[in-house]
Structure 1
Amino acid sequence: MNPIHPPFAPSFPIRSIDDVRRLEQTPIATALPVRSTYEIFSNAAHAFGNKTALTFLRSGDPDDTPIRWSYAQLLAGIHQTANLLHALGVGSGDAVAVLLPACLEYHLALWGGEAAGIVQPLNPLLTDEKLVSLMSAAGAKVLIAWGSDDESGMWSKAMRLRDQVPTLRAVLRVAPHDEPPGSAPALPEGVADFNALRAGEPADRLVSGRDIAPTDIAAYFHTGGTTGAPKLARHSHGAQVFTAWASVKLQGLQHTDITINGYPLFHVAGVLPASLASLSAGVEVIIPTTALMRNKAVISNYWRLVEKYRPTSLSAVPTVLAALANVPLDGADISSIRYCRTGAAVLAPELAARFERLFGLHVHESLGMTEMAGISTITPPGVVGPAGCVGFPLPYVRLRIVALDEHGNASDRDLAAGEQGMVLFKSPNLFSGFLDPADNAKAFTADGWLATGDLGWLDDQGRLNLTGRSKDLIIRSGHNIDPKVIEDALGAHPAVQLCAAVGAPDAYAGELPVVFATLVPGASASEEELLAFTAARVDEAPARPKSVVIIEHMPMTNVGKIYKPELRALAARKVADALVDEACAALGLPAAARPQVQADGESALKVVIDAAAAGTLAAQLQAQLQQVLGRLPFKAQVILQ
């Protein structure tokens, strides 16, 4: 049996890099004796017992009665879940896939899954094909799935997946919290009721008697957003424990704190810095409905929910902060919030200023990534930095800023403070590499540093300041343009809600900067006005955008980041459309004969010419379009049909 240690608690307020170094004076083995996430929950239950650990909001209505679990109930459920999985044949090297919305049972699947084997949280919005690929790569033995299609069609997906993943032995159905008794559907062979089965398992211990080592793999998290082949990042128990410990130390988390976790629980931000860190310190974690911040009622009632539940911290991605900035306080008392933080994407200065102006809350930024178990740097309470400042590196972490090579990758040339380059890390919470070793080559430098792809610089206070991603750089005639320069300029316009700059393909320059924007509800502005506004605020001529395009909805990833690949594809299509129009006009073709420009996969276009409509000019049009589109730096196929 593992010894009981005190729950994690802050040592002293962190206000400078010297305070971080002071933490490092104690050897890490002494400072952090906890070996696994299972120990975290054992320690917390021993210390906090009947104190509320999780509060689930059934709806966005502040008057609804929530469902609450204590720390003792949570540990009992973790024991039952781990024991159930053990009975189903799950061992320390076996994966347990999870296909759930935000719910209390997600925490049983996560931490019970890690106590029994390796948990694999899945993004429910991925296609069946990608989910099958991810589960097959992990060799998932058990799938824990939501028993309803109300959330992203999860139950139907689960039933389809069970026939396509060869390693899958069982599916466990989690009944929705509002399912009437006796209304559950009949379950096919190999599918069982999760809560009914776990209720029959011991709740006071791990039947397996497993001794979990810090190096044991705890989880597989998939990376790469919603595109590409699956890349499964392996997290050790030690890495996840370190993330929780360091987050508590730098944020000053205490058992009297309350937080609303609006991050998805298939994503590292929601699982580790937002959940595990809080629960390791006795914090009450509020889950705002199964849909989280996608629930319009949660957004519209957010400040009333704050007034009722009295959270001491607010944490959300910048796009959610932008949505909340449109929700008036209407007299709600939000004085309980002492700390507001964001991450996942660079915060626009105008949004930071607007949030502080409207609500009196300074937004503290952090940097997190899957490859570092969810957190890399933190801006502690009481440390006020400009937008883009993501704070201090964690204790025992090494950080470098290096110049980019001619391909935009990390070089071995270190840069001085104040100079921008790629951010590299070595850290106790560094992931254990990808499941497929072939994916590791681009993740690390030749001498073993994690190459983050983030661009940033260190200020004179030892804080990391981010400017963007190396892959998002717009390269115009060999000149690197930071899209953040453009985005900050346009984002200062009062009518702009969100904006994102990308490179549009150009035959001469390679790429030209263009920017897409959504407007604040009720606001109006023309594209010409916004273009002039932006150009006047971008000093460097090559970085001034060639166009501003107003769109109704900004494309987002499932965790609320702006999805730039879709914008780059849209920019490429606009360029192709213009060239098609020019070619048709030169040949005198009528509008009815205009070819259709279509997406061809995720990074290419297809131009389809109607041979009958184009008549005798069809072949000439095809040749002309092949020539002009062939000069552009993207794939375009011109076909007759």
Structure 2
Amino acid sequence: MPPDTPHTLDASTTLWELVERRARLTPGRPVLLQGGRTLTFAGLRDRAERTAAGLWRMGVRPGTVVGWQLPTRIETVVLCVALARLGAVQTPLIPFYRDREVGFALRASGAAFFAVPGPGPWRGFDHGAMAWRIGARGVFEAYRSLPDDDPAVLPAPPASGTDVRWVYWTSGTTSDPKGVLHTDRSLLAGGACLAHALRLSGDDVGSIAFPFAHVGGLDYLVMLLLYGFPAVLFETFALPGALAEYRGHGVTTAGGSTAFYSIFLAAQRALPPGRKLIPTLRLLAGGGAPRPPELYHAVVREMGCRLAHGYGMTEAPMITMGSPDDTDENLATTEGRPPAGMEIRIVDGEVRLRGEAVCRGYLDPAQTAAAFDADGFLRTGDLGHLTGSGHLVLTGRRKDVIIRKGENISAREIEDLLHRHPAVRDVAVIGLPDAARGELVCAVVEQPDGAAGLTLEDVTAHLRAQGLSVHKLPERLEVVDALPRNDTLRKVLKYRLRERFS
């Protein structure tokens, strides 16, 4: 049998198999770094087994549904791996969800256990008290301590990687979340796509500054296990406060989503000329939201590192990914290329997907039937096209197409152009009902601190100067203190803007 390498490790059948193989390969190397604590690959395996044994004593069995709502901590990753060791079905929940979302998810998934931070409140909110209010079953605290017992009580690890063992929840851009069904293999395939595209090595140091309960958390963990390098975990993320950790650990790759790129860039701009924000940083990477071309060029120019952006969703956590050795044009204007196992089909402009990294559907069979076409391709609702080099270009979402006087207008096109305006920090373009036009084009702008006030005339003049067709120009401008975003990758919630300004 050939020696283990990242490209043989990604053939692992289950997450637990991958954990074991990496622990045998580089047992003493660190994998998780947080607040002066270090956990090695062997330590992750061993501690997860003891936690799995403690969970077994509590009554958790293969197939038992366990919900957890925990911050990004070493203990969270250990619990996640321990549940994978048991073959339990886990349903991660973002720590910022509250009674309605959490109660809905626990009831819909049939969770028999629920792990919360504790003891006491976390960031001013008492998750244990919430669990009592919503009638959660099997509540236990995992913030500072985890179940623990002798691994001798454990049964054999799960052998199948194609059973549904994960229920993730859509990020809240619709009124009710949908339970997305994943297997170990679908998540391993997504993580492998991320890992191989970014061209990382065992010498890198990564970072997880977003909620580990997001489906991207598992992607990132798989990447660490494949390539054998550590990541710095951030329970809360804010700059400049987090910079000491980034600098102290020599982080080489960071990011999360477009909002994170903008935060890093703003912090860089606050420094004296010639000083680099994170001296060791060579790559920003992420996905989850559109990345304007101008933001790519600004990061490269001002931060002195590459920016590789990808395309994913809860249903398929890694669809395409930019690579640091792509051209600047492709990195600025595309979402990267798909891995060999991901089929992309463009049907009437819509991106559709089929492959191992695509979910098995939803908890609600009716939602599953509506989401997949007759050939088994997932309807993403995203619009785009493939270039001659196989890179994917996204042009918007079906619901982001504004129909004005019978003409289709892409919100994404206008947003990309407005991001180039110095008085625009972020922007969302939406269609609003209009009796004469059907819909009118409204630009909702968030400005940087100290920027001069914007007028609609300023906006339209800027767009005209960049060659935008007259029929696409916004007819309304709204300036807000902050755009509404979700609590995972800070994606703008356009439905709230439509509700507010209609």
Could you say which TM-score interval applies, normalised by the shorter chain? over 0.9
Matches of 2:256 and 2:101, distance apart in 1: 27
Judge conservation of contact 1:54–1:287 (CA < 8 Å) in 2. Answer: yes
- Residue 286 of structure 1 is matched in structure 2 by 232
- Deviation (angstroms), 1:253: 2.8
Amino acid at match of 2:101: K
Aligned with 2:319 (options 376, 390, 399): 376
The answer to whether residue 167 in structure 2 is matched with residue 238 in structure 1 is no
Judge conservation of contact 2:182–2:360 (CA < 8 Å) in 1. Answer: yes
- Residue 593 of structure 1 is matched in structure 2 by none
Aligned with 2:262 (options 313, 322, 332): 322
Map 1:194-233 onto structure 2 (within 5 A). 194-195=145-146, 197-198=147-148, 201-203=149-151, 207-225=154-172, 227-233=174-180
Residues 262, 488 of structure 1: alpha-carbon distance in 2 compared, 3 angstrom cutoff = same
Residues 228, 150 of structure 1: alpha-carbon distance in 2 compared, 3 angstrom cutoff = same
Residues 547, 257 of structure 1: alpha-carbon distance in 2 compared, 3 angstrom cutoff = same
- Deviation (angstroms), 1:553: 1.0
- Deviation (angstroms), 1:163: 5.4
What does the per-residue CA deviation read over 1:466-511, in whole Å, with 9 as the maximum and x for residues that have no partner?
Answer: 1222222212233221111211222111121111100111112221
The answer to whether residue 410 in structure 2 is matched with residue 473 in structure 1 is no
Residues 324, 8 of structure 1: alpha-carbon distance in 2 compared, 3 angstrom cutoff = same
Amino acid at match of 1:556: R
Matches of 1:319 and 1:442, distance apart in 2: 31
- Deviation (angstroms), 1:164: 3.4
What does the per-residue CA deviation read over 1:369-410, in whole Å, with 9 as the maximum and x for residues that have no partner?
Answer: 1112x111111221121434111111222111121xxxxxxx
- Residue 258 of structure 1 is matched in structure 2 by 205
- Deviation (angstroms), 1:226: 5.7
Matches of 2:439 and 2:214, distance apart in 1: 32
SS of 1:357's equivalent in the other structure is helix
Amino acid at match of 1:75: R
Matches of 1:571 and 1:375, distance apart in 2: 33
SS of 2:362's equivalent in the other structure is coil
- Residue 74 of structure 1 is matched in structure 2 by 44
Aligned with 1:486 (options 390, 414, 437): 414
Instruction: Report which stretch shifted further, 215-224 or 142-151.
Output: 142-151
- Residue 626 of structure 1 is matched in structure 2 by none
Residues 8, 241 of structure 1: alpha-carbon distance in 2 compared, 3 angstrom cutoff = farther
Matches of 1:388 and 1:453, distance apart in 2: 20
SS of 1:92's equivalent in the other structure is coil
- Residue 397 of structure 1 is matched in structure 2 by 342
SS of 1:399's equivalent in the other structure is strand
The answer to whether residue 202 in structure 2 is matched with residue 272 in structure 1 is no
Matches of 2:338 and 2:220, distance apart in 1: 18
- Residue 66 of structure 2 is matched in structure 1 by 96
Residues 244, 320 of structure 1: alpha-carbon distance in 2 compared, 3 angstrom cutoff = closer
Alpha-carbon RMSD across the aligned residues, in angstroms, is 2.2
- Deviation (angstroms), 1:353: 1.8
Matches of 2:226 and 2:9, distance apart in 1: 15
SS of 2:33's equivalent in the other structure is strand
Structure whose CA Rg is larger: 1
- Deviation (angstroms), 1:139: 0.9
Judge conservation of contact 1:5–1:43 (CA < 8 Å) in 2. Answer: no
What does the per-residue CA deviation read over 1:579-635, in whole Å, with 9 as the maximum and x for residues that have no partner?
Answer: xxxxxxxxxxxxxxxxxxxxxxxxxxxxxxxxxxxxxxxxxxxxxxxxxxxxxxxxx
SS of 1:368's equivalent in the other structure is strand
What does the per-residue CA deviation read over 1:265-289, in whole Å, with 9 as the maximum and x for residues that have no partner?
Answer: 12112x122222223321101112x
Instruction: Report which stretch shifted further, 307-316 or 362-371.
Output: 307-316
SS of 1:565's equivalent in the other structure is helix
The answer to whether residue 399 in structure 2 is matched with residue 451 in structure 1 is no
Identity of aligned residues (%): 26
Map 1:144-159 onto structure 2 (within 5 A). 144-148=115-119, 150-154=121-125, 156-159=126-129
What does the per-residue CA deviation read over 1:281-331, in whole Å, with 9 as the maximum and x for residues that have no partner?
Answer: 21101112x21x3xx3xx114555433221221222111211221113442
Judge conservation of contact 1:365–1:388 (CA < 8 Å) in 2. Answer: no
Residues 391, 538 of structure 1: alpha-carbon distance in 2 compared, 3 angstrom cutoff = same
Aligned with 1:139 (options 85, 98, 110): 110
- Residue 496 of structure 2 is matched in structure 1 by 566
Judge conservation of contact 1:535–1:545 (CA < 8 Å) in 2. Answer: no
Aligned with 2:141 (options 164, 167, 173): 173
- Deviation (angstroms), 1:78: 1.2
What does the per-residue CA deviation read over 1:327-370, in whole Å, with 9 as the maximum and x for residues that have no partner?
Answer: 13442474432322231111112222221221122321111111
Gaps of 5+ in 2: none
Matches of 2:363 and 2:469, distance apart in 1: 43
- Deviation (angstroms), 1:225: 1.3
Aligned with 2:296 (options 336, 345, 352): 352
Matches of 1:500 and 1:94, distance apart in 2: 42
Matches of 1:70 and 1:552, distance apart in 2: 43
Judge conservation of contact 1:135–1:165 (CA < 8 Å) in 2. Answer: no
The answer to whether residue 474 in structure 2 is matched with residue 504 in structure 1 is no
Amino acid at match of 1:263: F
- Deviation (angstroms), 1:533: 2.0
What does the per-residue CA deviation read over 1:217-241, in whole Å, with 9 as the maximum and x for residues that have no partner?
Answer: 2211011516433311111111122
Residues 251, 320 of structure 1: alpha-carbon distance in 2 compared, 3 angstrom cutoff = closer
